[in-house]
């Protein structure tokens, strides 16, 4: 579900707002500026010679060389902003639907009727397709890093379209909006979440998924998953389902993804907290112990309603688990689900090629609202770094550093999950603290750090407690509160890390209350935008920040802001700081993926601010490097305390050759998830929640649907809108983005 730009205090299960810590924006000034050696430039020269077939030597002269095809990145004509209910790609490209909500996965699964009577979503595509990874297959069906015509897609199914509790597009009459929820509706809704693993093939120049492939599978919130890393076996994860605290059921609200260097998939659990509830008297039942502090910090105040009310569907264990109240008599939680929420909020690793391998929650990477997980450049003999963001207002940016040093032989291991054990279970987790001078520091979250172990607001028991309550540990060390960190990606040209900061309605020049923060150097904008007759304040359009780490394991980094989202007509001095033109303007960046083939940085939006003018979109960018621009100073008049002056760092302004809108999606959707075949000639992306703005009351009146995509694109039965994976190809067979 979209992260709407909502008013502070509004209930939005996709936008937690529980960081009321007094953490500063940044207070340490680091004297030593980073070395700003020019690294290999990602944007050096926009003309890239395409791979040229060997012509042999006979008769070759200089003419043959000059005849070689030359590819110009971003050579396409920009797509205009649009409110049309369709997918728009540049002239010379085509987009087709591949795998939509409800599509049958197995040989005996019936065709999707799309009228609310389909029930068996364990056997079908789930809803709200999000992050996605490509896992190549050879013609023999074995893992392949070079296959371009056969592979698996691992697709997150983040959530469902709902107005009040019910996922109404999958119920014939829209379903119940009051409690208790029927078991039949609940079972259906639960199964819409998790992931799909689905085989796809290119046959006769057409991509299609393979119904009945032996690789196909669904992972749902009921699939058994192992707890791995420092929190395995810890008292915080004891439940009635796993009294040994070694396993849990399922993964939930899977948003961004990552692909490990050893060929497994990482999936991030984002807004899981909203699915749980606890009684209005639960604080007292818990004796107001420290678990109450943890629950509040992770967005679950006692008495808060759950998103769907699944806990009300019956006394069976699979429903009771959604009630986090302390209702049992045990001292350790082994007779209820008071600790169940501690089993969600992780980066989860799975082997898409091998159903027999355990799926594992990598607790060492911390527990928060995960988006994507991007790996640093690999250096043999050095640790790996994994970069991650916590998507809620005023939350933090993290990195995990493996204890193990990278061994190139691990790129093609015999046991991929065992390789994950090696690199992702033992390591250190850090949180980012930004300084105004363009430097920054990674601060380790360690129980041996007296600032963590001595934190007054929460008494950490051990390192497991630190990773399970990473937000609290980050509060303790004074991490920088950010404008909702979404996806991140590592530029393959130079290893710099790009973070989308989607927006923040709680950024104010004069903060009111602990949930609001004043602009600072890495989050420098607070302004007011109009949308129709409404106005919205804060960092309405978001920005993209980038980090240059000194080394994978190092504690120092430098940073700047790569791009500021803005309407092209917005004030240049205060809002449109990147001087975006009408071919480039965007709001609320979310998905961000670097193409391994072309090096293009693909930027996807999940917006609610500029949607009076355009549907959500995807842009192609050829970025430079940290510190290729300069500084900008913003002055905010204040009623008290005088002007607030913020100096930030802005990357080199984009040009028509370095940033261009590539795609606009159907009405009400967000654009998310991206992977490519290794040759860069086929791109898969996801259209999430088209028609999300439809009211459940209008379910019977097709004419009132906000969107009828993809049926209006000729795909599938029924008119109800469906999230879907689409395939993008270039008509001349070239690489995507050229």
Residues that bind Ca ion (CB under 5 A): 255, 486, 529, 531, 590, 606
* Structure tokens that stand for 55 in this block: 């012509």
CB of 35 vs ligand FEO, minimal distance in Å: 34
| Least Cβ distance, residue 308 to Ca ion (angstroms) | 18
Nearer to ligand FEO, 311 or 590 (CB): 590
- Looking up tokens 């399970």 gives 468
Say how far apart CA 624 and CA 643 lie, in whole Å: 33
Complex with ligand FEO: residue 12 or 85, whichever CB lies closer: 12
Least Cβ distance, residue 255 to ligand FEO (angstroms)? 3
Give yes or no for residue 270 binding ligand FEO (CB under 6 A): yes
Residue number, 11 or 697, with CB nearest to ligand FEO: 11
Residue 441 contacts residue 31 (beta carbons within 8 Å): no
Q: Which does 529 bind (CB under 5 to 8 A by kind): ligand FEO, Ca ion, none?
A: Ca ion
- From residue 51, alpha-carbon distances to 54, 69, 71, 588, 734 in Å are 9, 8, 9, 35, 11
- Near ligand FEO by CB under 6 A: residue from 87, 88, 152, 255: 255
The footprint of ligand FEO on this chain (CB under 6 A) covers a number of residues equal to 8
Which residue of this chain has its Cβ atom nearest to ligand FEO in the complex?
255
Q: How far is the CB of 488 from ligand FEO (least distance, A)?
A: 12
| Residue nearer to ligand FEO on the CB measure, 308 or 548 | 308
Closest approach, Cβ 480 to ligand FEO, in A, equals 18
User: Closer CB to ligand FEO, residue 127 or residue 158?
Assistant: 158
Burial code (b: 16+ CB inside 10 Å, e: under 16) for 91-117 equals eebebbbbbbbbbbbbeebeebebebe
Residues between 579 and 598 that touch ligand FEO (CB under 6 A): 590
DSSP result, 87-134: -B--TTEEEEEEEETT-B-STTPPPP--SS----GGGB--SSEEEEEE
Site for ligand FEO in 628-687 (CB under 6 A): none
Minimum distance of Ca ion from residue 670's CB (angstroms): 5
Pick between residue 3 and residue 735 the one whose CB is nearest to ligand FEO.
3
> Least Å distance between CB 12 and ligand FEO?
11
CB nearer Ca ion, residue 130 or residue 311: 130
Lookup: tokens for 189:
């809704």
Note whether 391 binds ligand FEO by CB under 6 A: yes
Residues 128-147 that bind ligand FEO (CB under 6 A): none
In whole angstroms, how close is the CB of 207 to Ca ion at the nearest point? 25
If you write DSSP's letter for every residue of 566-588 in order, what string do you get? B-TTS-TTTT-TT---TTT-B--
DSSP 242-289: -TTSSEEE---SEEEEEE-TTS-EEEEE-SGGGG-B--TTHHHHTTT-
CA nearest to 385, candidates 403, 372, 409, 408: 403
**103 makes contact with ligand FEO (CB under 6 A):** no
Question: Is residue 486 a contact point for ligand FEO (CB under 6 A)?
Answer: yes
Residue 661 interacts, among ligand FEO, Ca ion, none and using kind-specific CB cut-offs from 5 to 8 Å, with none
Give the one residue of 371, 390, 395, 692 binding ligand FEO; rule: CB under 6 A.
371
The nearer residue to ligand FEO, 255 or 659, going by C-beta atoms, is 255
Q: Residue 85 binds which entry of ligand FEO, Ca ion, none, with Cβ cut-offs from 5 to 8 Å by kind?
A: none
Shortest approach of ligand FEO to residue 268 CB, angstroms?
8
Nearer to ligand FEO, 97 or 671 (CB): 671
Residue in the shown chain whose Cβ atom is closest to Ca ion: 606
Q: Which of 16, 158, 410, 692 binds ligand FEO (CB under 6 A)?
A: 158
Under a CB-based contact definition with an 8 Å cutoff, are residues 217 and 353 in contact? no
The rounded distance, in Å, linking the Cα atoms of 251 and 230 is 19
Helix-, strand-, coil-residue percentages of the chain, each rounded to 5? 10, 30, 60
Q: Among all chains, which residue has been given the structure tokens 């057409």?
A: 206
Contacts for 512 with CB less than 8 Å, ≥ 6 apart: none
Is 589 buried (19+), middle (13-18) or exposed (0-12) by CB count in 10 A? buried
| The three-state (H, E, C) secondary structure of 593-658, written as one string | EECCCCCCEEEEECCCCCCCCCCCEEEEECCCCCCCCEEEEEEECCCCCCCEEEEEEECCCCCCCC
Q: How far apart are CA 371 and CA 391, in angstroms?
A: 7
Q: Which is nearer to ligand FEO, 230 or 258 (CB)?
A: 258
In the bound complex, what is the minimum distance in angstroms from residue 456's beta carbon to ligand FEO?
31
According to CB under 6 A, which residues from 1 to 30 bind ligand FEO? 3
Q: Which does 395 bind (CB under 5 to 8 A by kind): ligand FEO, Ca ion, none?
A: none
Nearest residue (CB) to ligand FEO, 4 versus 362: 4
236/603 with CB nearer ligand FEO = 603
Report how far residue 598's alpha carbon sits from residue 686's, in angstroms, rounded to the nearest whole number: 20
Rg (CA), the chain: 24
Q: Which does 41 bind (CB under 5 to 8 A by kind): Ca ion, ligand FEO, none?
A: none
Strand partners, 374: 387
- Smallest gap from Cβ 531 to ligand FEO, in A, equals 20
| Nearer of residues 560 and 590 to ligand FEO, judged by Cβ | 590
Contact in structure between 428 and 384 (CB atoms under 8 Å): no
Whole-number minimum distance, CB 590 to ligand FEO, in Å?
6
Q: How far is CA 718 from CA 109, 111, 179, 404, 494, in A?
A: 18, 12, 29, 52, 47
- Nearest distance, CB of residue 128 and ligand FEO, angstroms: 9
Residues lying near ligand FEO in the complex (CB under 6 A): 3, 158, 255, 270, 371, 391, 486, 590
């Amino acid at each position: 579900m979209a992260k709407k730009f909502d008013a502070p205090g509004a209930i939005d299960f996709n936008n937690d707002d529980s960081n009321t810590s007094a953490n500063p924006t940044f207070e340490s000034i680091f004297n030593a500026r980073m070395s700003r050696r020019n690294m290999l430039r990602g944007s050096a020269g926009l003309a890239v010679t395409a791979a040229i077939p060997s012509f042999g030597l006979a008769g070759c002269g200089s003419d043959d060389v000059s005849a070689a095809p030359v590819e110009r990145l971003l050579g396409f004509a920009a797509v205009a902003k649009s409110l049309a209910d369709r997918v728009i790609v540049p002239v010379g490209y085509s987009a087709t639907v591949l795998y939509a909500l409800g599509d049958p996965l197995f040989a005996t699964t019936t065709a999707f009727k799309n009228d609310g009577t389909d029930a068996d979503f364990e056997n079908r595509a789930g809803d709200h397709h999000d992050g996605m990874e490509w896992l190549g297959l050879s013609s023999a069906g074995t893992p392949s890093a070079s296959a371009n015509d056969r592979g698996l897609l691992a697709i997150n199914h983040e959530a469902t379209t709902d107005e009040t509790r019910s996922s109404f597009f999958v119920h014939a009459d829209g379903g119940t909006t009051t409690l208790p929820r029927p078991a039949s509706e609940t079972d259906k809704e639960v199964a819409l979440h998790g992931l799909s693993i689905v085989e796809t093939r290119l046959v006769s120049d057409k991509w299609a998924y393979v119904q009945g492939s032996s690789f196909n599978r669904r992972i749902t919130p009921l699939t058994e998953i192992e707890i791995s890393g420092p929190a395995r076996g810890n008292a915080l994860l004891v439940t009635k389902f796993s009294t040994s605290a070694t396993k849990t059921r399922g993964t939930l609200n899977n948003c961004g993804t990552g692909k490990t260097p050893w060929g497994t998939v990482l999936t991030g659990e984002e807004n899981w907290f909203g699915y749980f509830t606890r009684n209005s008297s639960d604080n007292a039942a818990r004796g107001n112990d420290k678990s109450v502090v943890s629950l509040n910090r992770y967005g679950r105040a006692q008495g808060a309603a759950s998103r769907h009310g699944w806990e009300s569907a019956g006394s069976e264990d699979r429903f009771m688990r959604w009630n986090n109240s302390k209702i049992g008599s045990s001292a350790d939680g082994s007779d209820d689900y008071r600790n169940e929420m501690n089993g969600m909020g992780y980066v989860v690793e799975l082997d898409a090629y091998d159903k027999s391998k355990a799926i594992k929650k990598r607790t060492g990477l911390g527990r928060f609202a995960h988006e994507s997980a991007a790996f640093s450049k690999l250096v043999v003999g050095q640790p790996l770094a994994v970069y991650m963001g916590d998507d809620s207002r005023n939350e933090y940016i993290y990195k995990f550093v493996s204890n193990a040093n990278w061994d190139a032989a691990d790129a093609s291991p015999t046991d991929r999950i065992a390789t994950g054990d090696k690199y992702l279970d033992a390591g250190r987790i850090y949180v980012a603290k930004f300084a105004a001078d363009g430097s920054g520091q990674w601060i380790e979250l360690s129980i041996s750090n007296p600032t963590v172990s001595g934190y007054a607001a929460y008494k950490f028991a051990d390192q497991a407690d630190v990773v399970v309550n990473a937000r609290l540990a980050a509060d303790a060390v004074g991490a920088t509160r950010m404008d909702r960190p979404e996806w991140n990606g590592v530029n393959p040209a130079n290893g710099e890390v790009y973070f989308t900061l989607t927006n923040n309605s709680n950024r104010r020049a004069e903060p009111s209350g602990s949930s609001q923060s004043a602009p600072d150097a890495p989050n420098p904008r607070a302004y007011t935008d109009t949308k129709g007759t409404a106005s919205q304040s804060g960092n309405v359009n978001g920005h993209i920040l980038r980090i240059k780490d000194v080394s994978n394991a190092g504690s120092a980094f430098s940073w700047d802001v790569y791009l500021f989202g803005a309407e092209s007509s917005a004030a240049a001095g205060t809002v449109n700081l990147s001087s975006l033109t009408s071919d480039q303007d965007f709001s609320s960046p979310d998905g961000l993926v670097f193409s391994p083939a072309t090096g293009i940085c693909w930027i996807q939006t999940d917006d609610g601010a500029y949607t009076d003018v355009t549907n959500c979109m995807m842009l192609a960018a050829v970025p430079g490097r940290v510190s290729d621009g300069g500084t900008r100073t913003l002055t905010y008049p204040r009623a008290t305390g005088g002007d607030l002056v913020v100096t930030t760092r802005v990357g080199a302004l984009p040009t028509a050759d370095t940033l261009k809108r590539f795609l606009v999606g159907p009405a009400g959707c967000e654009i998310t998830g991206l992977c490519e075949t290794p040759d860069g000639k086929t791109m898969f992306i996801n259209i999430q929640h088209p028609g999300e703005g439809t009211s459940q009351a209008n379910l019977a009146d097709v004419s009132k649907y906000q969107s009828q995509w993809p049926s209006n694109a000729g795909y599938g039965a029924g008119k109800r809108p469906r999230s879907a994976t689409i395939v993008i190809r270039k008509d001349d067979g070239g690489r995507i983005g050229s």
